[in-house]
Amino acid sequence: MNILAIVIATAIVGGTGILIGVFLGFAGEKFKVEVDEREEAILGVLPGNNCGGCGYAGCSGLAAAIAKGEAPVNQCPVGGAPVAEKIGEIMGVDAEEGERMTAFVKCAGTCEKAGQDYEYTGVEDCAAMAFVPNGGPKSCNYGCLGYGTCVKACPFDAIHIVDGIALVDKEACKACGKCVAACPKHLIELVPYEAKHLVQCSSKDKGKDVMKACSVGCIACHLCEKNCPSDAIHVTDNIAYIDQTKCTGCGICAEKCPKKIIL
């Protein structure tokens, strides 16, 4: 065996490795992306759920936006006030306490109260109902189908199907909006946690048609609207809607509603 050949080969391999290392080190310094230390600190205090409820692509996206001043420090709906306060300290600003929100399902059509046009057996997914007769077996075309697409979408186990309709656990809900986006009937909306009165119906049918489909649907009688002293409730497209910024929680609308669907 030629010792000289081995030494030369070793030197070549070693030298090549050194050159590559130097090149990679230079390239790393030349093309490295500067990361704001505040961004990393913010990411460290965010809950890490990556739910998207803040409107950004996960917690890293929100952290970058806050660090750049493109998003407020209280943008994370999951972390709430405690996380906003920590981020405010990192950014050197005061964290304004945002209003706590929760998801609300605008349907009271339980198995007992809502009519059924036929018995359905098949894939239990609300989105799949677009391909079955009449958009599903429930007589009300606006009502909750009860197959749990929203349940599957919720990362916090805050919504469940109870007696045929989706029901939100206000304490567990983080207002991330996943269920709102998932519901094909657009029955779920985010409302103030402290909201005292809400209309639990979404039907835009005329009163007589509503009564045929559901015993508790809004019949657009306007009694709530006529009796509200704060002008906070109006009937539009045959459905009552409460403006929470005007509602004082007096309860007159709920008292006057003949169908008792104002919570």
Residues 201-225 have pLDDT tens digits of 999 999 899 999 999 999 999 999 9
Q: pLDDT at position 33, please?
A: 55
Residues 99-141 have pLDDT tens digits of 788 999 999 999 899 999 998 888 889 988 888 888 889 999 9
Could you give the CA distance from residue 42 to residue 72 in angstroms, rounded to a whole number? 12
Q: Are residues 55 and 71 in the same domain?
A: yes
Could you give the CA distance from residue 150 to residue 103 in angstroms, rounded to a whole number? 11
Q: pLDDT at position 189, please?
A: 93
Q: pLDDT at position 31, please?
A: 59
Q: Report which of 179, 170, 191, 176 is spatially closest to residue 126, judged by C-alpha positions.
A: 179
φ, ψ for residue 134 (rounded to 5)? 60, 20
Percent of the chain with pLDDT over 70: 94
Weakest-pLDDT range from 1-10, 27-36, 193-202, 250-259: 27-36
Q: pLDDT at position 135, please?
A: 87
Dihedral of alpha carbons 223, 215, 188, 140, sign = negative
Q: Are residues 183 and 107 in the same domain?
A: yes
Q: Given a cut of 90, is residue 61 above it in pLDDT?
A: no
Q: Is 72 helix (H, G, I), strand (E, B) or coil?
A: coil
Angle subtended at Cα 192 by Cα 108 and Cα 154, rounded to the nearest 5 degrees: 65
Q: Given a cut of 90, is residue 37 above it in pLDDT?
A: no
User: How many domains does the chain contain in total?
Assistant: 3
φ, ψ for residue 239 (rounded to 5)? -135, 135
Q: Given a cut of 80, is residue 28 above it in pLDDT?
A: no
Residue 23 domain-assigned?
A: no
Q: Would you give the DSSP letter of residue 84? A: H
Cα–Cα distances (Å) from 171 to 24, 158, 254, in that order, read 52, 8, 23
Could you give the CA distance from residue 11 to residue 156 in angstroms, rounded to a whole number? 59
- Residue 61: partners with Cβ closer than 8 Å, 6 or more residues away: none
Q: pLDDT at position 253, please?
A: 93
Q: What is the amino acid identity at position 168? A: V
Residue 31 domain-assigned?
A: no
Distance, CA of 232 to chain centre: 25
Angle between helices 80-91 and 37-45 (to 10 degrees): 160
Residues 84-96 have pLDDT tens digits of 888 888 888 877 7
Q: pLDDT at position 35, please?
A: 62
Query: Last residue of a domain, which of 91, 116, 137?
Result: 91
CATH number where 234 lies = 3.30.70.20
Dihedral of alpha carbons 42, 47, 48, 49, sign = negative
Q: pLDDT at position 257, please?
A: 93
The β-bridge partners of 167 are 160
Q: Given a cut of 80, is residue 21 above it in pLDDT?
A: no
Residues 132-183 have pLDDT tens digits of 888 889 999 999 999 999 999 998 999 999 999 999 999 999 888 899 999 9
Residue 59 domain-assigned?
A: yes
Q: Are residues 188 and 111 in the same domain?
A: yes
Q: Would you give the DSSP letter of residue 242? A: E
Query: 49: how many CB neighbours lie within 10 A of its CB?
Result: 18
Weakest-pLDDT range from 62-76, 159-173, 190-204: 62-76
Weakest-pLDDT range from 51-55, 71-75, 104-108, 121-125: 51-55
CATH number where 45 lies = 1.10.15.40
Q: Is 30 helix (H, G, I), strand (E, B) or coil?
A: helix
The residue segments making up the domain with residue 130 are: 99-193
In the chain, the N- to C-terminal Cα span, in Å, equals 93
What average pLDDT score do residues 178-196 get?
Answer: 92
Q: Given a cut of 90, is residue 254 above it in pLDDT?
A: yes
Conformation bin of residue 234: beta by default, left when phi > 0, alpha when psi is -120 to 50: beta
- Please give the radius of gyration of the chain, using alpha carbons only, rounded to the nearest integer: 28
What average pLDDT score do residues 71-95 get?
Answer: 83
Q: Are residues 56 and 105 in the same domain?
A: no
Q: Are residues 172 and 243 in the same domain?
A: no
Query: Last residue of a domain, which of 154, 171, 193?
Result: 193
What average pLDDT score do residues 28-54 get?
Answer: 76
Residue 109 domain-assigned?
A: yes
